[in-house]
């Protein structure tokens, strides 16, 4: 989703380290989707997602260079899919979003939404 500037005002953080939080999910899930609102003024953000201490090794969470594509857009929602092998049978998961080693820019986060896929 893309949002034109300004109608959304939001508070968030930008960091080179990590953030952690716990979320409730459906234990019968077939995977989880994370959605993050980010400020695309900082492009090329890259992070490793950890679920209960295990890194999701299939891919990093990477946001592309939106500036060249959407010049008048400030806020972007970016999705990351967590495979069921990390989430199945669990009623909650602890997420750690860690700015990837060698990332060009700091990670920023303004809001997260969590969706668990039903059986």
Q: Are 68 and 45 in contact (CB under 8 A)?
A: no
Question: How buried is 104 (Cβ within 10 angstroms: 0-12 exposed, 13-18 middle, 19+ buried)?
Answer: exposed
Parent domain of 44: 18-116
Give the span between the Cα atoms of 104 and 109, in whole angstroms.
Answer: 16
Alpha-helical (H) ranges within 3-107 are 66-69
CATH number of the domain residue 46 falls in: 2.60.120
What is the tens place of the pLDDT at every residue in 36-75? 998 877 778 899 999 999 999 999 999 876 555 556 667 7
Mean pLDDT of the chain: 86
Domain total of the chain = 1
Q: How confident is the model at residue 34 (pLDDT cuts 50, 70, 90)?
A: very high
| Residue 68 counted as domain residue | yes
In the Cβ-directed half-sphere of 103, how many Cα atoms lie within 13 Å?
Answer: 24
């Amino acid at each position: 989703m893309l949002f034109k500037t300004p109608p959304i005002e939001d508070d968030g953080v930008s960091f080179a380290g990590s953030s952690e939080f716990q979320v409730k999910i459906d234990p019968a899930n077939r995977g989880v989707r994370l959605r993050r609102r980010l400020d695309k003024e900082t492009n090329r953000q890259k992070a490793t997602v950890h679920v209960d201490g295990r890194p999701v090794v299939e891919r990093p969470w990477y946001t592309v260079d939106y500036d060249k594509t959407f010049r008048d857009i400030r806020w972007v929602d970016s999705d990351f899919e967590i495979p069921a092998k990390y989430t199945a049978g669990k009623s909650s998961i602890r997420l750690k979003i860690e700015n990837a080693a060698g990332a060009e820019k700091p990670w920023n986060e303004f809001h997260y939404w969590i969706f668990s896929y039903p059986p």
